[in-house]
Amino acid sequence: MSKYEFIDSQKAEPVNPNSVVRMCRWLAVSTSGFYHWATRPQSATAARRQTLTARIQHYFEESEGTYGYRRIHADLAAEQTECSPELVRQIMRNQGLVACQPRPFRITTEADAEAAAGMPDLVKRDFTADRPGAKFVGDIT
């Protein structure tokens, strides 16, 4: 963010009591430079980035937040929009678009009914003891 952008953002705040002249003096920039910057038309690069940002957000929302910069770049290339993957990555980072690929649920443990049937139940499912150190029960799961 440039100094002029910062002054412009603070100028729009209703709780900011400081004038543009005072903020320009604090940031060591000229007031006329700020007003010249404010009236200047948008550059071609900024306009291109703005349209790219809209397209990237469209593809990101269309994929329900699962596409990363590589897939979005491939979609942009498919629609004949020329840009580098690094530019897509940078715009996504600036917009806070972080891809999330949900992993499928996989069962990690399986109950073995045959092995459980062969193990003796020595405490008869009663885990209470009348005194400390009478029953020792362990679970390795």
Residue 131 maps to a domain = no
State the pTM of this model: 0.57
Q: Which of 85, 8, 88 is nearest to 54 (CA)?
A: 88
Same domain, 90 and 61: yes
Residue 136 maps to a domain = no
Domain of 11, in residue numbers: 3-39
Residue 132 maps to a domain = no
- Reading the block at residue 33, the tokens are 């430079």
For 61-110, what is each residue's pLDDT tens digit? 999 999 999 999 999 999 999 999 999 999 999 999 999 987 888 887 87
Helices (H), the chain: 3-11, 20-26, 31-39, 44-62, 69-78, 85-95, 113-118
Residue 101 maps to a domain = no
Same domain, 91 and 48: yes
Q: How many domains does the chain have?
A: 2
CB 76 within 8 A of CB 63: no
